Amino acid sequence: MGSLRILKILWIVTRYRLDRLLPQKSQPLWLKCLLLPVKAFPIKHQHPAVALRCALEELGPIFVKFGQVLSTRRDLFDANTSDELQKLQDQVPPFDERLSRQIIEDSLGEPIETIFSQFESTPLASASVAQVHAATLISGEDVVVKVIRPGIEKSIQLDLKVMHLLAQILLKVWADASRLHPDQIVSDYEKIIFDELNLQLEAANASQLRKNWLDSGKLYVPEIHWDYCRDKVMVMERIYGISSADVAQMHARGVNMKKLAHLGVEIFFTQVFKDNFFHADMHPGNVFIDASDPDNPSYIGIDCAIIGSLTEDDKTYLAKNLLAFFNQDYLEVARLHVESSWVPAETDVREFESVIRSVCEPIFQKPIKEISFARVLISLFQTARRFDMEVQPQLVLLQKTLLNIEGMGRQIYPDLDLWETAAPFMEDWMKQRLGIGHVFEQISENAPKWISQLPDVPQLAYNALLEVQSLSRNNREQTKLLGQLNKELGRNRKQKNNSRIGGIALLAALLAITLPLTGFAHPQEAVMGASVLGSLGIYWMFIKP
């Protein structure tokens, strides 16, 4: 499995004293003995969360990305650990430009010079999975070329095997590890990382997101040049904008920051509830600002490798939960959690309500601009652990995106009132969903399908009748068989009873002959009584049906 890699991991874990992250009280004796040599190492970082972040950075890009995924699991870790993991930066030295050229030419099947009139050897950016080069197509369009890092698949597979092994070890040595589901966390990460390796999938996501927002004037997604997209290479339109983290430049350009912040919230809720197709990795590195019209700024989104969606039931329950939060209806929040099976059905709703109230009520006493809605959700997820709330992967992605959006929004406009935008949006969405207009919309959408199925209706009805008849016939046969079985069981019970009675009679006859005190005045009477009892016993045991 790569024993050298495992040894390196163990060495880094030891140097950073990550044993401090394990609970000290529940450690078995053998584990304490095993960790004694580790405790001899000096503590490099006072806080274990800082040590964890530094260790992941030293372990390399795959572990860095894993740490980024872990930072979204605030339902599992304390705030300090999650905040520290969120600091992980995906900054990796670029790989050789000659390798980049070779991958592009091998993937597209022709020399770079026949595709691009200009290709910049120095990459614009380099991350753990891929790097990006600026170029110009022969046709004249400015583009960026994203190239998967060479040999990354092998490296990922090796590190994933190690992670799965570590997860299994953690389950065996730590009693509380089962609550954290380390094996499931690694499996979720495995899916995310392999999705990011497929640039064809990312191109498809970007293309769909572009269609959803084309001509909206709110969110722009660069055009994909499909002729030059493969699994390891993606060519897309080059965009020019201000980084969403560069607040100083936005102020210098006179951007309407309040409008921009509220627009971000609107885009998020529209993606989640109307489009059901949301960009789940909207950190500042993937979001730019178009300030060409400072009073009406808009967003530019790139890197669509991670996309989230919800089931219709999850969307409905989530919307109802959000509205209940806005209205401080804690009983409704508790009831919805049970109804949606996010917590077990046997949960005491009133007890759950009181816990939710204890989390939310202190927050609602603050001015609205000081309330972080994302933090409220995180507190609720953490509190719900007491009630065995199962982690919902699709909600984790949503939570991560909401954290990014709210954090970015408050950076752009510190007085951002998330609910000022979100509450009216959710109320309108629920009205549309439950209103008569939505019913007619559903009917109009399904009408062509229903009409196309009309010719099949008579045959389907006939088949249904045959099924009903067959079921009725089967029911009659089963009823008959059950009746016969009951009769047979009744006969068996009778025979058992007769056998018992006959056995008792034979025993009585035997006693009448053998016992000296039988209650009869003369022996002849005893023999006659025994004969009668014996005859009755034989009759009950062998003759009577």
* Coarse DSSP helix, strand, coil percentages of the chain, rounded to the nearest 5 percent: 65, 10, 25
Output the six-digit token pair for 15.
């140097």
Q: Is 112 left (phi over 0), alpha (psi -120 to 50) or beta?
A: alpha
Query: Cα–Cα distance between 71 and 396 in angstroms, integer?
Result: 11
Of 166, 154, 152, the closest CA to residue 6 belongs to 166
* Amino acid (one-letter) located at 449: K
Work out the angle at residue 145's Cα, subtended by the Cα atoms of residues 140 and 146, and round it to the nearest 5 degrees: 165
| Residue of 162, 221, 232 whose CA lies nearest to 3 | 162
Residue 77 structure tokens: 């870790």
3-class DSSP assignment, residue 475: helix
Angle made by CA atoms 65, 93, 73, in degrees to the nearest 5: 10
Closest CA to 534 of 499, 510, 515: 510
Q: What are phi and psi of 193, to 5 degrees?
A: -70, -35
* Amino acid (one-letter) located at 14: T
CA triple 130-220-114, angle to 5 deg: 50
User: How many CB atoms sit inside 10 A of residue 241's CB?
Assistant: 18
Residue partners of 362: CB distance under 8 A and separation at least 6: none
Catalytic: which of 75, 281, 303, 417? 281
Question: Closest Cα to residue 364, out of 412, 415, 326, 407?
Answer: 326
Instruction: Output the six-digit token pair for 396.
Output: 């984790």
281 noted as active-site residue:
yes
**Structural contact between residues 188 and 43, judged by C-beta atoms closer than 8 angstroms:** no
Q: Could you tell me how far CA 192 lies from the centroid of its own chain? A: 11
Q: Which residues contact 122 (CB under 8 A, 6 or more apart)?
A: 94, 97, 133
Q: Tell me, what amino acid is at 430?
A: M
Q: Strand 278-279 and strand 307-308: pairing?
A: antiparallel
Are 195 and 305 in contact by the 8 Å Cβ rule? The answer is: yes
- Which of the residues are catalytic? 281
